[in-house]
Each structure stands twice: as C-alpha cells, then as structure tokens.
Structure 1
Amino acid sequence: MLPESEINRVLVVTAHPDDADFASAGTVALFVDRGVEVTYLLVTDGDAGGNERTLDNSGMAELRRSEQLAAAKAVGVSDVRFLGRPDGRVVPSLELRKAIARVIRQVRPDLVITHHPDRNYRSIAPSHPDHRAVGGATLDAVYPDARNPYAFPELIEEEGLEAWTVREVWLNGGATPDHWVDITETIDRKLAALRSHVSQVSHVEGFADFVRSRFAAWAKEAGFGEDRYAEAFQVVPTG
C-alpha cells in the first residue's frame, strides 16, 4: 500500500451528497488532521433524494448541496465540487470519464476514494446504480484517462491540464474489503457530518446508535476489538 507519509492529496468521488460521509468521513477527518488536502467531487446533487416530495428536484438539489457543504465542513473539507448530473440516471459514459479525469488532473491526488463498481450481494444499499456507475467511471478516469496524454487531448490543448497518475484507489461499499481504518477518534465528527444531511436522516429513529453499531461491526471484522469504530475499503494499486 501507499505509505501514509506519501499521501498528500486525496480526491473523494461520490455519486450523491452523504455518500462520502457514510463511507469515509472518519478517514477523511484523519487525513485532514495530518494536513492532507482533501477534495470532494459529487457527480449528482442528490435531487432524487428524500422521503417526502415536499420540494421539486431543483429545490431538493439546492438543499442537498448546502447539506453536503455543511457535512464537509464538519470534517475539515472546504473544496467541494459538483458535476450536476441527474440523480438516479448516471451512466459510466465517456463524458463522465472526461469530467472526472479533468478534476483528477486539476487536483493531482495521490489517492482517490470512490464507490466499488461491482454489486454487493451482502448488502444492497452500497449497490445503488449511480454508485456502481460512478465507481466504474472513476476507475476508468484513473486508468487510463487521467494519466494518458492522448486521452481527451483537449484537456491539455485547451485547458492546460497535463496528465496525472493516481497512485492508489480505495473502493468503498464492496463485499470484500481488505483495508480498515480505525476511526474511533473521529467517529463523533463523522456523526456530525452525517447529521448535516437533515433531509436524509432526521426521520431515522436511533440514527446515532445505528451508525455506531454499523462501524463497530467493521472494527470487529478488522480485529480492532471492542469499543472501536472502523471504515472499510478495498485497495486497488495502479502501478
């Protein structure tokens, strides 16, 4: 794996507002505490989210963008970018690959964190079609698009964005994680980030207990023991 000392910039690519917070906010908070520069890239604004249709799609999109900005602030992330694709209709197209490759070349991250592109048969929630599409497009943007100067040459010729090689990818939501991060010291900040998504979680009774139990289970699977919390990833080397 990439040594922690060599991770200076991280790009987190997700489908919707709150995806980063459920999957990796505790890890992100640890990175930020170490001085790592973290950028969030959201492919959609989450305009199809929510349990009651009290807002139209544009109103929900605006609300969810504001919630994501608050959630990012809770873990110390200030660089949050939105691509504005329609929620629920994301496909891993060439256009999406180019948009993600553009941000990779702008941010020049050592590490990218994104969704697992494969369906998880242990738990259905991580396998939202947008998640799988974004995970697949992001992996394609990492390899070969962002590193290949002949891929989308207009990114160089018109925007001055030279090719960039991401050194490692961490996938979340898959059925076979192989890397766990102990987030015990940042679990409260993760919860604060998640609670920022009022439109999505305020109706869930016992939400904090649900979150704690879910990430305590990952800690036990990782072998961290009792009273610990962990986030889980599958590591993909890109060399």
Structure 2
Amino acid sequence: MTTSSGRFQRALVVTAHPDDVDFGSAGTVASWVAAGADVTYCICTSGDAGGFDSTPREDVPRLRQNEQRAAAAAVGVTDVRFLGYQDGQVVADLRLRRDIAKVIRDVRPDRVITHSPEINWAHLAVSHPDHRAVGEAVLAAVYPDARNAFAFPELLEAGFEPWTVGELWMSESPEERINRAVDITDQFNAKLAALAAHRSQTAHLTDLPDRIRRHLTRTAERHGMTGRLAEAFHVVDTS
C-alpha cells in the first residue's frame, strides 16, 4: 500500500454527477491544491435527476451546477466544466469518449481521477450505472483516445494536441483493487464544507459529518493509518 501522493502539476477529475467528487475525493483534491497543483473538474451531467425537495425540475441543473462550483471553491478549485449529458442515461459511447478526450487534451493533466468502471459488490450504492459508464469512458479516453493523434481527428483539426496522462486514480473500486490511500485528516473540514455546499443533496442528512468521519476512519485503519482519516483509490500507471 502506497500512502504518499507525490509531486505533480495538474490533475483532472471526471465524474458523473455534481457531488460525486466531494463524496469520493474532495479531501485528496484539497491536499493537492494545498501542495500547489492545478485541478480541473469535469462533470458529465448536471445532476438533473437528483434532489430531495420541491425544487422545480427545470431549475435543478442550474442549482446543482452552482452547488458544485461552490463545493469546488471550498477545496480551492476554480475550473469547473459541465458536459451536459442526461443524468441517469450516461453510456460509455464514442461521443462521451471524444468529449472527455477533448478535455484531457485541453487540460493536459498528469493525473486523472474518475469512478471505477467495476461493480463494487460490497458497496453497491457507489456503483451507479452513470458512475461505471463514466469510469469506462474515461479509461478509454486516457488510453488510447487522448494520446492517439488519429483518434477523433476533428479534435486535432481544432487544435487539441494529443496528451498522455501519467496516472489514473479510480474511486469506489472494489477493496481488492485499492493500492493507494491518501491521509486527508488535515483536509477533513474542507471536505465537509464541499459536501455542505450541495444543499439540495445533503441538507437533510443531519448526521452526515459523523457518517463521513466514520467511513474515513475505517478506510484509514484498513490501510495502516490508525488514528487518521483517509480516502482510497485504485491507481494505475498509464504513462
């Protein structure tokens, strides 16, 4: 198990919905920003199928985009992009792969965080079909699409030069895949602030801080970091 996150310059986080990054990796992102890295968020949908109140459906996308921007600001991220796919209907098709490859070529990140494309049978709730579809599309966009000049030639014609991502970090992976834990004890309050920004999703969860702390404590203990709080990932060298 590797616990250090290393030094790098740029990272891209690609998720299915607003709030996914904050539940899965906001503490890690906050630690990277604090260390001087530039981080960009790419959210594939606007979370239009989410919510637990009477907000009119037509207002939900704008609301959740604003919540995600506020959550990003809580951990020091200012570049937040939305691809506009339909919440609950995401598939890992060529259009999604192209759109993600375009963002990769534009941002040119050293690391990409996304969802695992695998089903986590021990925690099925994290394996939303949109999550797995985005994870699969990101994997294909990282290798081979973003680095292959002959994939999606329209991107090259538009000036988006090929780019090779060095590492792929996947959250929500089955436990047997996990090979990296990040100590986020010092970033815990920033993670809670990011989650609180998603009021349409979290305001009714009065015990959320305690639930998150328990989860992060168990994660840290499983990976030899007793007394700390940690987020865990399956990290693959994609250079």
**Corresponding residue for residue 205 of structure 1:** 206
Is the Cα–Cα contact under 8 Å of residues 53 and 200 in structure 2 kept in the other structure?
no
2:60 and 2:205 mapped to 1: Cα distance? 19
Deviation at 1:53, TM superposition (A): 4.4
Aligned amino acid, residue 203 of structure 1: H
SS of the residue 1:80 aligns to: strand
**Corresponding residue for residue 107 of structure 1:** 107
Aligned amino acid, residue 143 of structure 2: Y
Q: Within 5 Å, which residues of 2 pair with 1:81-230? A: 81-157=81-157, 159-176=158-175, 177-226=178-227, 228-230=228-230
1:29 and 1:3 mapped to 2: Cα distance? 12
SS of the residue 2:232 aligns to: strand
Please provide the CA RMSD for this pair: 1.2
**Corresponding residue for residue 38 of structure 1:** 39
Q: How many residues align?
A: 235
SS of the residue 1:42 aligns to: strand
1:207 and 1:104 mapped to 2: Cα distance? 33
Is the Cα–Cα contact under 8 Å of residues 101 and 145 in structure 2 kept in the other structure?
yes
Deviation at 1:20, TM superposition (A): 0.4
Deviations 1:107-142 (CA, angstroms, capped at 9, x unpaired): 000000000001100101210000000000000000
1:153 and 1:22 mapped to 2: Cα distance? 36
1:52 and 1:193 mapped to 2: Cα distance? 20
1:166 and 1:79 mapped to 2: Cα distance? 19
Structure 1's unaligned 5+ residue stretches are none
1:235 and 1:181 mapped to 2: Cα distance? 11
Deviations 1:19-71 (CA, angstroms, capped at 9, x unpaired): 00011100000100111000000000000001234321x31111100000000
Summarize the Cα distance change of 1:120–1:188 in structure 2 as closer, same or farther, 3 Å threshold: same
1:8 and 1:204 mapped to 2: Cα distance? 35
Deviations 1:175-228 (CA, angstroms, capped at 9, x unpaired): 1311100000000000000000000011012111011111111111111112x1
1:174 and 1:17 mapped to 2: Cα distance? 19
Q: TM-score, normalised by structure 2?
A: 0.96
**Corresponding residue for residue 63 of structure 1:** 63
1:54 and 1:111 mapped to 2: Cα distance? 36
Summarize the Cα distance change of 1:15–1:3 in structure 2 as closer, same or farther, 3 Å threshold: closer
2:208 and 2:219 mapped to 1: Cα distance? 17
Deviations 1:119-175 (CA, angstroms, capped at 9, x unpaired): 100101210000000000000000000000000011111x11110000110000011
**Corresponding residue for residue 6 of structure 2:** 4
2:209 and 2:200 mapped to 1: Cα distance? 16
Structure 2's unaligned 5+ residue stretches are none
